[in-house]
C-alpha cells in the first residue's frame, strides 16, 4: 500500500512509528546525562574562554532539549526523569585540568553524534520529526568543530601516527586513519557508481531512471574530489569500476522497489561512513571539512530519496506508535 509523504491517522492527526517514539525517549535520556556532565565540569573549568565555550554548548543542549520534550508531550511518550536544574559548587580542584574536562566532554559529544545520526536515519515515517533531528545533528557537528578547534589550539589532542607518503605535498599531512578513510570512501563510491549504473540500465520507472542518473552525477563528482585528495597526498587509489557495464540479466527479474531499497541502504551506510571519517580526522582540517561536507550532502540526499520512495510506495513502514493491535 502506498505511503503518503506526511503519514497521518484518520482525522488528520500526526503520526510517528515505534522506532521514532523510542528515538525521542532515547534522545532525551542521552541529553539529560550530557546536561549534567556539562553542568558538573563547567564548575571545574579554569580557562575563561573554555568556560564560555562550555556555556555555549550547554545553551544549545537546553534549547534542543526543550524542543524534544515538547515532542514527547505531544505524542504522549513516557520520558526519562529530568536532571537537576543546576549543578553548582564552588570548590576549585586544580588536579582536574581543562584538558581532562575537554577529553570527557569530547568523548560524550562523539558518542552523541552517532546516536543522533541513528535517530535521523531511523526516523522515516514522520518527516517533520526527522527534520528536527537533522537540525540538532548539524548544530552538534558545528559545536564538535568548535570544541575540537579550541583543543587543537591548546595542544590537547592526541595526534595519531602520520601517513608516510613518498614526498610531502601541501601544508597539512595525513594521519594513518585519514589516509584509510580517503581510500575507503573512494572504494565505496566506486562500488556505488557501478551499482547505480547497473540499476539505471534496467529500471522500469522513468522517474527512477532520472533519479538514478542524477545520483550518478553526484557520485562521480564526489569520486573526483576524493581522487584529487588521494593524488595530492600520495595515497594509492583503489581499482576503478569498468567504463561501461554490459547487462546480461533479464530486466524483468529486478523490481524497481528492490533497486530502490538497495540504493537507499547504501545512502544510510554512507552517512555512518562520513560521520566516522569526520570524527577520526583530527590532523588535517581541510580533509575533515570535506568529510563533513559529504555528510551534509548525504543527509540531504537521504531525506529526498526517502520522500521519493514514500511517494512511490516502496519504503518499509514500521508499526505506528500508539495504535491498538488488531
69-128 confidence digits (pLDDT tens): 999 999 999 999 887 766 665 555 677 899 999 999 999 999 999 999 999 999 999 999
Cα–Cα separations (whole angstroms), residue 5 to 137, 160, 305 = 22, 45, 11
Nine cell digits for residue 171: 601544508
Q: pTM of the full predicted structure?
A: 0.86
How many whole angstroms separate alpha carbon 9 and alpha carbon 11?
6
Pair 138, 222 in one domain:
no
Residue 159: strand, helix, or coil: coil
Give domain status of residue 161, yes or no: no
Give the HSE-up count for residue 105: Cα atoms under 13 Å, Cβ half-sphere.
34
We report the CATH number of the domain holding residue 55 as 1.20.1260.10
pLDDT computed for residue 8 by the predictor? 52
pLDDT computed for residue 3 by the predictor? 41
Nine cell digits for residue 106: 569530547
Give domain status of residue 126, yes or no: yes
pLDDT computed for residue 5 by the predictor? 43
pLDDT computed for residue 14 by the predictor? 87
Pair 180, 265 in one domain:
yes
Domain termination residue (choose one: 154, 189, 216): 154
Pair 144, 186 in one domain:
no
- Domain encompassing residue 226: 176-312
The string of pLDDT tens digits covering residues 268-291 is: 999 999 999 999 998 898 999 999
Give domain status of residue 168, yes or no: no
Look at the chain and report how many structural domains it folds into: 2
Amino acid at each position: 500500500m502506498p505511503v503518503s509523504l506526511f503519514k497521518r491517522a484518520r482525522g488528520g492527526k500526526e503520526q510517528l512509528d515505534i522506532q521514532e517514539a523510542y528515538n525521542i525517549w532515547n534522545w532525551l535520556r542521552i541529553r539529560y546525562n550530557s546536561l549534567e556532565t556539562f553542568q558538573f565540569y563547567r564548575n571545574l573549568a579554569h580557562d575563561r574562554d573554555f568556560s564560555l565555550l562550555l556555556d555555549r554548548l550547554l545553551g544549545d543542549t537546553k534549547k534542543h532539549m526543550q524542543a524534544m520534550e515538547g515532542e514527547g508531550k505531544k505524542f504522549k511518550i513516557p520520558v526519562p526523569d529530568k536532571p537537576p536544574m543546576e549543578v553548582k559548587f564552588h570548590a576549585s580542584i586544580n588536579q582536574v585540568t581543562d584538558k581532562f574536562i575537554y577529553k570527557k566532554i569530547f568523548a560524550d559529544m562523539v558518542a552523541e553524534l552517532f546516536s543522533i545520526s541513528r535517530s535521523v536515519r531511523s526516523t522515516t515515517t514522520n518527516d517533520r520529526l526527522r527534520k528536527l533531528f537533522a537540525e540538532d545533528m548539524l548544530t552538534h557537528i558545528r559545536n564538535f568543530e568548535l570544541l575540537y578547534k579550541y583543543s587543537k589550539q591548546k595542544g590537547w589532542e592526541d595526534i595519531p601516527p602520520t601517513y608516510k607518503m613518498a614526498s610531502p605535498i601541501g601544508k597539512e599531512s595525513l594521519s594513518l586513519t585519514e589516509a584509510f578513510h580517503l581510500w575507503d570512501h573512494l572504494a565505496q563510491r566506486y562500488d556505488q557508481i557501478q551499482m547505480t549504473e547497473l540499476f539505471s540500465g534496467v529500471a522500469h520507472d522513468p522517474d527512477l531512471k532520472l533519479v538514478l542518473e542524477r545520483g550518478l552525477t553526484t557520485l562521480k563528482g564526489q569520486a573526483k574530489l576524493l581522487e584529487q585528495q588521494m593524488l595530492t597526498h600520495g595515497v594509492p587509489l583503489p581499482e576503478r569500476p569498468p567504463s561501461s557495464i554490459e547487462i546480461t540479466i533479464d530486466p524483468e527479474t529486478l523490481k524497481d522497489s528492490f533497486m530502490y531499497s538497495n540504493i537507499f541502504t547504501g545512502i544510510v551506510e554512507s552517512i555512518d561512513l562520513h560521520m566516522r571519517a569526520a570524527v577520526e580526522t583530527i590532523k588535517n582540517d581541510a580533509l575533515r571539512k570535506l568529510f563533513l561536507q559529504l555528510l551534509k550532502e548525504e543527509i540531504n540526499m537521504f531525506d529526498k530519496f526517502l520522500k521519493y520512495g514514500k511517494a512511490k510506495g516502496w519504503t518499509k513502514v514500521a508499526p505506528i506508535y500508539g495504535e491498538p493491535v488488531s
